[in-house]
Amino acid sequence: MSAKKKVLIINRRAPYGRSNARDSLDVALTCGVFELPVSLLFADDGVYQLLGEHDAQGIGQKNLSATMAALPMYDIDQLYVCEQSLKTQGLETSDLANAPTAVDQDAIQQLIKEHDVVLTF
């Protein structure tokens, strides 16, 4: 693969209730494997994906937090979280795993500008 398009993946959905969070993570990891640069933005209910220590066995699903923890091994280290969403949900960045960078609306517009492709889940 020659063209190095930069991909931004926007995650707006809570984990487990729908398959979006997992689907998104699988795409991100595949971008990592194929060395396509990828950044992840968590917004709205998507910020809940960053709460750690999941235990999804009781609902017959695989833990996403374990996979999230593996992102750096795939060179996926550009993680952003919408600060407005955190505020709405009553969360602090210190509550979150993966140490994402908090961004405001202008920074989100800038993220969209700087990436060649934007995927939403």
Partner 1 sequence: MALHTLNRAPADQSCVTRCLNALADNDALLLIEDGVYAALPGHQALFAALPDSVSLYVLQPDLQARGISEKVRDVFTPIDDAGFVQLACDQDKVVSWF
Partner 2 sequence: MGFFLWQNSWLQMIFTLIVQAAPYSHQSADTAYRFAKSLLDQGHSLHRVFFYADGVHTGSALASPPQDEPNIPERWQQLAQDHQLDLVVCIAAAVRRGVLDANESGRYSKPGHNLADGFELSGLGQLVEAIAVSDRTLTFGA
**Nearest Cα to Cα of residue 56 among 82, 97, 19:** 19
Residue 70 binding: pick among partner 1, partner 2, none (C-beta 5-8 Å cut-off by kind)? none
CA dist 55 and 73 (Å) reads: 22
Which stretches of the chain bind partner 2, using CB under 8 A? 1-5, 7, 16-20, 23, 26-27, 30-31, 33-34, 36, 59-62, 117, 119-121
* Per CB under 8 A, 116 contacts partner 1: yes
Residue 36 binding: pick among partner 1, partner 2, none (C-beta 5-8 Å cut-off by kind)? partner 2
Torsion of CA 13, 15, 20, 21, to 10 degrees: 100
* Per CB under 8 A, 102 contacts partner 1: no
Distances (CA, A) of 87 to 39, 45, 49, 80, 90: 22, 12, 15, 15, 5
Summarize as ranges the residues that interact with partner 1 (CB under 8 A). 10, 12-18, 43-45, 48, 51-59, 61, 65, 85, 88-91, 105, 108-109, 112-113, 115-118, 120
